[in-house]
Amino acid sequence: MPPTFANLGDEAVLDIQGLRQLLEVLGNEGYRVLGPTLRHGSLVYDHLPSIDALPRGWGDEQQGGFFRLRPLQEPRFFGYGVGQQSWKQFLYPPRRRLWQARLQPDGLQILPVDEDAPKFAFIGVRACDLQAIAVQDRVFLEGPFIDPHYRARREQAFILAVNCGHACGTGFCASMGAGPKAASGFDLALTEILEGDRHYFVAAVGTERGRQVVSQIPHRKAEAAEQEAAARTTAQAAREMGRTLDTGDIKALLYRNYENPQWDRVAARCLTCGNCTLVCPTCFCHTVEDSSGLTGEQAERRRRWDVCFTVDYSYLHGGSVRATPRSRYRQWLTHKLATWIDQFGVSGCVGCGRCITWCPVAIDITEEVRAIRESEESGVRGQGLVTKQKTENDKRE
């Protein structure tokens, strides 16, 4: 057993061998180790048998509606940003059986799904996705009702965060207070540093569970110069970030602008495909599907991610509440950035930029907010809640 020094809040230094052993320790402790890897030329999160499965030496290029993997000059393990997937697919799976039912001679019988929640170790969770997990925790764990399946997976998950050394092409995590440096919510947070021929990781210890894992691998206390190198790395990512979203007064801004003509302009481009909701790490909407077996004696209910861009989503007998693309885009953006704050006390956006990258027509949430803000500044404000109230009061008086 190597000597251990690391305490909560400390920073340790690991080398590549240390990272290799770290994944081994997690595997030996029964975790299903998941992390970024390349499949069919795409960046996905999947099982990591060892650090050799990480996309070492690969980076990414992202723009609105554009994602390409690019080889890097440096052999970095974590030289890319976030891809189309997020960790929500593991904590809150896209499809899940909720229960099965049997029709017995004496009636309906409901059979719960007995599931031993998988024990995940997430490798390479970026600051934006850490915040996204914290946001989904509020949704699934803090309401009057909780999702016990989410809780079972969440409580056991080991989170190894990685601080970003360069900014995603479409990200704006700094605007949303999420990144690029992981602030909390991790067991361990690594900063990868390549200086000349030195390649090492500065590991911040966030929890007792993280400390125990580090204590099993060779490490030493980070020196001041190494800590500074780590700080420079994340500062560089923050400097590079090309996008911003002005969140000042944003709830009131959007509440005032329900009838802004900008919604018509974006609706003319929006395909209502719902890609943005599927890649969004905080979108939590789901629907249920009931089915029965051919003999009519068995049935089951499944839950799957749902998309607020479909007409079906708001269907009530007689028709859909949000029949037009304009109202559905408005619902998505206003929910994400405004009503979410009333519902859960935080923004539903973490600035990861996925909705921009994976939108087939490159609609940019930061541009849409800017357009609304600027239209207001230039006095073209459409009718929203406040103006509406005024007109009504005027009428009454």
Partner 1 sequence: MLNALADPMLPAPFRVLKVNRETGDTFTLTLAPAAGEPGFRFAPGQFNMLYVFGVGEIPISISGDPDQPETLVHTVRAVGAVSRAICGLKRGETLGVRGPFGVPWPVTKAPGWDVLVIAGGLGLAPVRPAVYHLLARRPQFGNLELIYGARTPEDLVFRQELMHWRGRFDFRVHVTVDTAKGDWRGNVGVVPNLISRARFDSEHTMALICGPGVMMRFTVQELLNRGVKMENIYVSLERNMKCGLGLCGHCQLGPVFVCKDGPVFSYDRVRDWFLLREV
CA distance 123 to 208: 17
Which positions from 100 through 119 interact with partner 1, judged by CB under 8 A? 101, 103, 106-110, 112, 114-116
Please give the radius of gyration of the chain, using alpha carbons only, rounded to the nearest integer.
23
For residue 307, the SS3 value is coil
Nearest to 309 by CA among 355, 343, 357: 355
Choose, by CB under 8 A, the member of 16, 314, 375, 376 that binds partner 1.
314
Q: How far is the CB of 283 from partner 1 (least distance, A)?
A: 8
> Please, how many CA atoms are within 13 Å of residue 292, restricted to the half-sphere of its CB?
8
Q: Does 292 bind partner 1 (CB under 8 A)?
A: yes
Binding region for partner 1 (CB under 8 A) out of 126-134, 225-233, 310-318, 349-357: 310-318
Nearest to 280 by CA among 347, 344, 234: 347
Q: Does 90 bind partner 1 (CB under 8 A)?
A: no
Residue with the two structure tokens 């979203």: 245
Binding region for partner 1 (CB under 8 A) out of 122-130, 187-195, 229-237, 326-334: 326-334
Query: What phi and psi values does residue 352 have, to the nearest 5 degrees?
Result: -75, -20
Cβ nearer to partner 1, comparing 56 with 286: 286
Total interface residues for partner 1 by CB under 8 A: 64
Cβ nearer to partner 1, comparing 58 with 309: 309
Which positions from 343 through 362 interact with partner 1, judged by CB under 8 A? 343
What dihedral do alpha carbons 146, 150, 152, 155 form, nearest 10°? -100
Q: Does 98 bind partner 1 (CB under 8 A)?
A: yes
Q: Which residues lie across from 279 on neighbouring strands?
A: none
Residue with the two structure tokens 């210890």: 205
Site mask for partner 1 (CB under 8 A), range 196-235, x = bound: ----------------------------------------
DSSP string across 339-388: IHHHHHSS-S-----HHHHT-TT---HHHHHHHHHHHHHTT---B-HHHH
Q: Compute CA 298 distance to the chain's CA centroid, rounded to the nearest angstrom.
A: 36
Q: Does 95 bind partner 1 (CB under 8 A)?
A: no
Residue with the two structure tokens 């940003």: 81
Q: Does 396 bind partner 1 (CB under 8 A)?
A: yes
Nearest to 125 by CA among 86, 71, 174, 153: 86
Choose, by CB under 8 A, the member of 84, 175, 236, 339 that binds partner 1.
339
Query: Checking phi first, is residue 5 left (phi over 0); if not, alpha (psi -120 to 50) or beta?
Result: alpha
Cβ nearer to partner 1, comparing 212 with 298: 298
CA distance 306 to 286: 4
Cβ nearer to partner 1, comparing 66 with 258: 258
Q: Does 129 bind partner 1 (CB under 8 A)?
A: no
Cβ nearer to partner 1, comparing 5 with 315: 315
Q: Which residues lie across from 39 on neighbouring strands?
A: 42
Which positions from 136 through 165 interact with partner 1, judged by CB under 8 A? 139-140, 143-145, 147-149, 152
CA distance 258 to 62: 31
Which positions from 229 through 258 interact with partner 1, judged by CB under 8 A? 255, 258
Applying CB under 8 A, the residues found at the interface with partner 1 are 98-99, 101, 103, 106-110, 112, 114-116, 139-140, 143-145, 147-149, 152, 255, 258-259, 284-288, 290-292, 296, 299, 301, 303, 306, 308, 313-318, 321-324, 326-327, 330-331, 334-335, 338-339, 342-343, 385, 388-389, 392, 396
